[in-house]
């Protein structure tokens, strides 16, 4: 289901709790909502559609990948960049890491560990910040 985008900074500033298999429908809603906003959005966290659970979605070219309980377990090569966010207006400066390694549960609730770099890694870092209540 396509959900409205939350722009309430107080709500977005709160930390999200762990996701369980009961939250697989949240992943589906993120799929639908990202697709509806794909022209101006490359990733989302569940709190952006009003759900304070640790679920994110990341556009990886033709694929949109949902990650449950993602944790960045390794990162290197910091750089300065500017980012925007569907929940905010304008862009802001931030520090990201070129290479990261992420542990997460996939849509079959299988635990995965995967390396990412560059643009995809940047989106994952932005969405993982949302789970901590951090908005660029
Ligand atoms: Zn954002």
Q: What is the mean pLDDT of the chain?
A: 96
- Per-residue pLDDT tens over the stretch 6-18: 999 999 999 999 9
Residue 67 has phi, psi (to 5 degrees) of -125, 130
Q: Is 127 a catalytic residue?
A: yes
Ligand 1 mean position, distance from CA 44 (Å): 6
| CATH numbers and ranges of domains, the chain | 9-131 (3.90.45.10)
Ligand 1 mean position, distance from CA 135 (Å): 6
How far apart (Å, rounded) are the C-alpha atoms in residues 84 and 99? 20
- Per-residue pLDDT tens over the stretch 88-128: 888 999 999 999 999 999 999 999 999 999 999 999 999 99
Bridge partners (DSSP) listed for residue 67: 56
């Amino acid at each position: 289901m396509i959900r409205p985008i939350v722009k309430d900074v107080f709500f977005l500033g709160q930390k999200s709790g762990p996701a369980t298999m009961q939250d697989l429908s949240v992943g589906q809603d993120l799929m639908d909502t990202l697709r509806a906003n794909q022209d101006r959005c490359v990733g989302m966290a569940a709190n952006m559609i009003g759900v304070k659970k640790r679920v994110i979605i990341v556009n990886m070219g033709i694929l949109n990948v949902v990650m449950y309980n993602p944790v960045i377990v390794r990162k290197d090569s910091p750089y300065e960049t500017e980012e925007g966010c569907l929940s905010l207006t304008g862009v802001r400066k931030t520090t990201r890491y070129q290479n990261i390694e992420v542990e997460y549960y996939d849509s079959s609730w299988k635990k995965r560990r995967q390396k990412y770099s560059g643009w995809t890694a940047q989106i994952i870092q932005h969405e993982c910040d949302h789970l901590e209540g951090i908005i660029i």
